[in-house]
Amino acid sequence: MQRFKLKIVVIGEHATGKTSLIKAFVEKKFSADYRPTIGTNIFIKKLELEGDEITLTCWDIAGQERWTSMRELYYRGSSGAIIIGDVTRKSTFEQIKNFWAPDLKEKVKSVIPIVLLANKSDLESEVTQDDIDDCMNAIGATCALKTSAKTGDNVNEAFQKLTEAILKK
């Protein structure tokens, strides 16, 4: 058995459900009340994957512009990234292509696996599967999944797919 410690950054526009997704993964909880993240929150989750023990440190990074200057520090040492778009706001996927993915790639300075999440899949969607696939290809993501922090759909799968991609690297 091997032990791995991996740092994952979770990024995207404000109110896309970053914190809710991480809490659904780490604590198996969902809270409907929205409170913006200030700077960053850090969550730790231990996984077992193919007999190995993996400790994921998930950095939930604020989506508001005022935290831009801090992002380079938050990204440092990242093994992988989850970038989240909100299916009820098509603009969040444009922001992923135009800001989040380029910002991550510029500041991380090495190629890390990225998983794209189309979150809030339990709500009426403004984006099509083609929009999601287009975003995934544009940013070079390993895969894209539709997720819901509320129902738990694909939440564990998202983190597992990213972990597998990191370990293959």
Cβ atoms 121, 149 nearer than 8 A: no
pLDDT digits (tens, 9 = 90+) for 125-155: 999 999 999 999 999 999 999 999 999 999 9
- Rounded CA-CA distance 150/161 in Å is 20
Segment 73-100, tens digit of pLDDT: 889 999 999 999 999 999 999 999 999 9
Q: Residue 51: what are its φ and ψ, rounded to 5°? A: 80, -5
pLDDT tens-digit readout, 4-56: 999 999 999 989 999 999 999 998 887 766 666 666 788 999 999 889 999 99
d(CA 46, CA 25): 11
Inter-residue contact 53 to 88 (CB < 8 Å): no
Write down how long the chain is: 169
Separation of alpha carbons 12 and 18, rounded Å: 7
What is the set of domains in the chain, with CATH numbers?
A: 3-168 (3.40.50.300)
Which pTM does this prediction carry?
0.92
